[in-house]
Amino acid sequence: MKKLFKSFLFTIGLQIFATPIVFAQDLLAAQSPLDRQMELVDSIALRDMLLNEENMFPADGLYESWKNDKVRFNAELPDSFRVDLRGFVMPTTNTKITDVFGYRRRRGRVHNGIDVKVQKGDTIYSAFDGKVRITAYQRRGYGHYIVIRHNNGLETVYAHLSKKFVVEDQNVKAGTPIGLGGNTGRSTGAHLHFETLLAGKNINPALIFDFERQDVTGDFYTYRKGVYQEIDKKTGKIIESAEPLYHKVRKGESLSVIARKCGVSVNTLYKLNKMNSRSVIRPGQRIRYR
């Protein structure tokens, strides 16, 4: 009897004692895969978050770092890159283009942007959501200027401003007033010099913004490596051809020498460079041969 009671107590005790242990073990057993599951959920959530972030901030995938020094932020461009233009705001409500993008034979250099006539004091707006990378002053060049890196990957430059409202590293929205139009730097008459860059490469702003119609050219702009895009002056449509190639004239070289070196005809050089047999070339000049 005594023995039985003892064993009964032992059994009870074991049960009382054992129950929590079993429970804890059960809990542990149940919890560890749950933890793993949670981890999995977490990594899926994290991956989704990163993916979303990349979709929301394609700029992060394009540029590896953030610096406030140079306008041209060179980065490796993929073979093609799609820029989301939805959510744009025109940088200015002015519509008159006073100079287009392209090579200036007269000045022997490339005009990297588009010039839009503005009145001094006209508000200039950020074209897309983004972050101000540079605000600076260049007496002989841009004057007061601002560079913004947008979430869509594009970088925009706004130059010759009379006033700047934003500071470096400031987040802006599309349509945030960033400054006032002006005539500072190398400029004759108030105008907005506007540039669009992708990984340090100047893109013709007219392929993206139509100032006359106060609109973008589409929901997306797609950059393709090795493809040169320009606007057909007759139809207003974007046409694509191979990226232009240039030859820098060396001392003593004539157009026929260059044509031979580049493997094209002299007539091709005439056509591409709007030249004729009477044209004079000088060392250092860029001659387009494709």
Sequence length of the chain is 290
> Does 193 contact Zn ion by CB under 5 A?
yes
Neighbouring-strand partners of residue 104:
109
Question: In terms of CB distance, is 108 or 218 closer to Zn ion?
Answer: 108
Instruction: Let me know: does 181 contact 165? Beta carbons within 8 Å.
Output: no
Provide CB contacts within 8 A for 15, sequence distance 6+: none
251 pairs with which residues across the strands?
none
Instruction: Identify which of residues 160 and 164 has a Cβ nearer to Zn ion in the complex.
Output: 160
**Shortest reach from residue 202's CB to Zn ion, in Å:** 12
Window of 69-77, 108-116, 166-174, 250-258 that interacts with Zn ion by CB under 5 A:
108-116
Pick 91 or 113: Cβ nearer Zn ion: 113
Our CB check for Zn ion shows the closer of 138 and 170 to be: 138
Provide, rounded to whole angstroms, the least separation between the CB of residue 55 and Zn ion: 33
Stretch that binds Zn ion, among 60-68, 74-82, 117-125, 193-201 (CB under 5 A): 193-201
Which single residue brings its beta carbon nearest to Zn ion? Answer: 193
Single residue of 115, 122, 155, 195 touching Zn ion by CB under 5 A? 115
Closer residue to Zn ion in complex, CB, 193/247 = 193
Q: How far apart are the first and last CA of the chain?
A: 110
Residue 144's contacts (CB-CB under 8 Å, 6 or more residues apart) are 135, 136, 137, 159, 160, 161, 162, 163, 164, 179, 182, 184, 185
DSSP secondary structure letter of residue 59: H
Binding site for Zn ion (CB under 5 A): 113, 115, 193
